[in-house]
Amino acid sequence: QVQLVESGGGLVQAGGSLRLSCTSSGRSFFTAMGWFRQAPGKEREFVAAISRNAYFTDYADSVKGRFTISRDNAKNTVYLQMGSLNFEDTAVYYCAAALRLSRDMREYDKWGQGTQVTVSS
């Protein structure tokens, strides 16, 4: 049984930084991984994704230049380094696994439980 467990969320001031982690267990980690987020009252949206070998990454326009996705396959962990955070980044952040790099949530068949990120002004 595959499990994805996120960690690293919390409360941060605007302009600050935070690093999220997502650790996979239960099967090979050699899949594409993505981060998505869902703010209150809004639909879940794509944030960033990384290919299984980390050669390719993709970012939503809203986070490009501020967030960095990376992975350590030896640790079965994918990271999301978030910087220059603002109030609009407040959301529950989810990691997910897919067979290929994609922005489409339907491509992701395994999801973590989510971790809350709250940015205060």
**Average pLDDT of adjacent 10-residue blocks, the chain of 121 residues:** 91 98 80 96 97 96 98 94 97 96 95 97 85
What is residue 11's predicted lDDT score, i.e. its pLDDT? Answer: 98
CA dist., res. 97 & res. 30, Å (int): 9
Burial class of 4 by CB neighbour count within 10 A (0 to 12, 13 to 18, 19+)? buried
The span from the first CA to the last CA of the chain, in angstroms, equals 40
What is residue 25's predicted lDDT score, i.e. its pLDDT? Answer: 87
What is residue 26's predicted lDDT score, i.e. its pLDDT? Answer: 66
Q: In whole angstroms, what separates CA 80 from the centre of its chain?
A: 5
What is residue 27's predicted lDDT score, i.e. its pLDDT? Answer: 65
What is residue 106's predicted lDDT score, i.e. its pLDDT? Answer: 96
Q: What is the DSSP letter of 105?
A: G
The answer to whether 2 and 27 are in contact (CB under 8 A) is yes
